[in-house]
């Protein structure tokens, strides 16, 4: 009985941790174009494998927005899905665009 309870608890903990590791993460960032000078604030989904690595997040965002002719100025923050709604209005057309 005790062994079964321990196994169930261990399995539950493992599933909970796996769910956290695969939880979506997002970043908000600022970018620019030089000619003419244009700025934008955007929100982008970050690949699961790099959510905790700020250097990798910056490189990933810079590469993705470069396609649109943008240069990354800075990453403002990294957050979970709970932060999306409050940023949608500010990001406008750049909400999950890239």
- What's the token pair of residue 77? 């923050």
Determine what percent of the chain is predicted with pLDDT higher than 70: 78
Task: Give the Cα separation of 56 and 61 in Å (integer).
Answer: 9
pTM: 0.75
Read off the DSSP letter of residue 47: P
> Which neighbouring-strand residues pair with 76?
none
Q: Is the peptide bond before 36 cis (omega within 30 degrees of 0)?
A: yes
- Give the residue from 68, 78, 75 showing the smallest Cα distance to 38: 68
Residue with tokens 């600022």: 30
- Compare 9 and 55 and report the one with higher pLDDT: 55
Residue 82 has pLDDT above 90, yes or no: yes
């Amino acid at each position: 009985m005790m062994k079964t309870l321990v196994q169930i608890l261990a399995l539950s903990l493992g599933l909970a941790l796996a769910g956290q590791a695969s939880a979506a993460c997002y970043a908000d960032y600022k970018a620019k174009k030089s000619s003419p000078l244009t700025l934008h604030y955007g929100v982008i989904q970050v690949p699961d494998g790099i959510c905790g690595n700020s250097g990798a997040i910056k490189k990933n965002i810079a590469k993705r927005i470069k396609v649109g002719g943008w240069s990354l100025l800075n990453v403002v923050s990294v957050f979970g899905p709970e932060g999306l709604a409050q940023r949608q209005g500010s990001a406008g057309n750049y909400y999950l665009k890239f």
